[in-house]
Amino acid sequence: MSTAPPEFTIGSLYIAGFAQARAPHVGLIIPTSGKTGCLVHIRIDRATSDKWAYQCRPQPIEGDMFLSSLLKIHDISAGPITLDQLRTAATAVPPPDNDEFGECEAWMAKVVEQLHATNLIACTDVTGLVDEFHAFATGNRAYARRDKFPNVAVSQFCV
């Protein structure tokens, strides 16, 4: 297993990208250790509605074969964001009322806007951030392996 790079810090906030067929699945994660974190995201709920549903769950970081990208948008050194604060911001943004592919990225951007509006993060350009993440995550398919740590970078749009 490869080790975490220096850009990875426990307690910081990241946009997480998961490898899938068409485009990366997207969520937000706060690592609670080098091996796991708390992920907030939306997913299609086939069991009950066939529509997007909010989910908050533990997420493996090290050894996960789908998690390929972590883009840091808030470093813990600037002050912690608690899991409760992340969940509050995420639940303030309703999931889309459809089952169209790709809605997770737009939902994540709205959560980032919510985090910025409540002064939990400082983001200078959400559209630029989304474009930056998309370009970064698209090139990380080779990191979607159990023996590789996800590729980690720091956003130029969040301080």
**Domain range spanning residue 117?**
13-154
Please state, in angstroms and rounded to a whole number, the distance separating the CA atoms of residues 73 and 149: 18
Q: Are 61 and 11 in contact (CB under 8 A)?
A: no
| Rounded alpha-carbon distances, angstroms, from residue 28 to 2, 48, 114, 141, 147 | 22, 24, 13, 18, 22
Using alpha carbons, select from 127, 149, 7 the residue that is nearest to residue 69: 149
Residue 3 within any structural domain of the chain: no
Q: Are 131 and 109 in contact (CB under 8 A)?
A: no
Residue 67 within any structural domain of the chain: yes
Residue showing tokens 């789908």: 66
Give the pLDDT of the chain (159 residues) as one tens digit per residue. Answer: 567 888 899 999 999 999 876 677 899 999 999 899 999 999 987 777 788 999 999 999 998 989 999 999 999 999 999 999 999 999 999 999 887 888 999 999 999 999 999 999 999 999 999 999 989 998 888 888 888 899 999 999 997
> Taking the model in full, what pTM does it have?
0.94
The helix or strand, by DSSP H or E, that contains position 51, with its residue range, turns out to be: strand 51-60
The pLDDT of residue 21 is 61
Residue 35 within any structural domain of the chain: yes
Residue 4 within any structural domain of the chain: no
Number of folded domains that form the chain: 1
Residue 98 within any structural domain of the chain: yes
Residue 159 within any structural domain of the chain: no
